[in-house]
Amino acid sequence: MRLAENPADAIYQRMIVVIPYRSPDKVKALESAFEELNLEGLNLSNTRYLNTYELSAEDKVNRELDFIGGFELIDKEMRCYILEGLGGVGHAMDRLYRANERQHTNDKRFKMLYNPNIMFKNRIYQEFNCAIKKIKLRDTLSETIAVSDIYLRSKVPEDMYNTLQ
């Protein structure tokens, strides 16, 4: 079955997961599922290859390549993962969700924002390739966005501002 005959079809999904900084079991579960899915989707044999694997020009336009990309914001209070991949039953995002399905409603110990009915036409974090790009903040995210300089376009590019918001 061809996933996207029409390049205008929305076939990608995104997920946001927020985990307190000191929750190694939840972080390990999420990152292990991420690695397993990407090894399978990219036909790689070892997790060491994920960190150095770069998508080719053909990979970047291949709308059937089933891998997850994204980044992680880390501060001293929490880890915030923003992930994207092919949506739909049996594809990477569905399988990632099922491997990390929440056991209760969102709270301070685990928060997941994911709706399998919302789809996007394009990937936006593809430049990070197939490993989670880790971004460590000196201050907490709430302290960072409270600094007035963040609103000055001459100091903070608009795309970075939008990401932090």
CATH number given to 12-164: 3.30.70
Q: What integer pLDDT is reported at residue 2 of this predicted model?
A: 45
What pTM was computed for the model? Answer: 0.83
- Show Cβ contacts of residue 110 under 8 Å, excluding neighbours closer than 6 positions: 17, 18, 19, 23, 26, 102, 104
Per residue in 66-94, pLDDT (tens digit) is: 999 999 999 888 999 999 999 999 999 99
Per residue in 135-151, pLDDT (tens digit) is: 888 777 777 777 777 77
The pLDDT > 70 percentage for the chain reads 88
Listed by start position, the domains of the chain span 12-164
DSSP string, 107-141: BTTBEEE--TT--BSS-S-GGGTTSPEEEE-SS-H
Residue 160: pLDDT band with limits 50, 70, 90? low
